Structure 1
Amino acid sequence: MMPLVLADAGTEQLIHKVGGSPELKKHLEDLGFVPGGAVTLISAMGGNVIVKVKESRVAISEEMARKIMV
């Protein structure tokens, strides 16, 4: 397992675990980051990460992406 920010760009990954505070976990779940779901890192620059989750592109902070284990 590794944080999402360390994944290869363009490669679909399986989410194993979502960490962080209960509020952060709920927020990420609402965006579609749930264990067992698929996520693809599109790009990471300037402290922000763009990912594809559930057929949508979502921008999250690098700090949030470090809580998502793939």
Structure 2
Amino acid sequence: MMPLTMAKAGEANIIKKVGGKEETRRFLENLGFVIGGLVTVVSEINGNMIVNVKESRVAINKDMANKIMV
């Protein structure tokens, strides 16, 4: 298991865990980051990421990406 920030661009990963406070987890789940879901990194700039999750592109910052374990 590793944080999403360490995933390579273009590589599909399965979400294994979503960490953080309750409100942070709920926010990420509403964006589509659920356990067992697929997430693909589109691009990464200074740790901030654009990812494909549930047929949508989502931009998340480094702190949020570190809470998503793949």
> Shorter-chain-normalised TM-score: which range?
over 0.9
- Over the aligned positions, Cα root-mean-square deviation in angstroms equals 0.8
Structure 1: where are the runs of 5+ without partners? none
Calculate the TM-score normalised by the size of structure 2.
0.96
Alignment of 1:1-70 (within 5 A): 1-70=1-70
Matched to 1:49, the amino acid is M
1:3-40 alpha-carbon deviations (Å, 9 max, x no partner): 00101110100000000000000000000000000000
Output the CA distance in 2 between the equivalents of 1:15 and 1:52.
12
Instruction: Report % sequence identity.
Output: 60
Tell me how far apart the structure 2 counterparts of residues 19 and 34 of structure 1 sit (CA, whole Å).
11
Q: Secondary structure at the match of 1:35?
A: coil
TM-score by structure 1 length?
A: 0.96
The runs of at least 4 aligned residues of structure 1 exceeding 6 Å deviation read none
SS at match of 2:2: coil
Contact 2:15 2:69 in 1 (8 A): yes
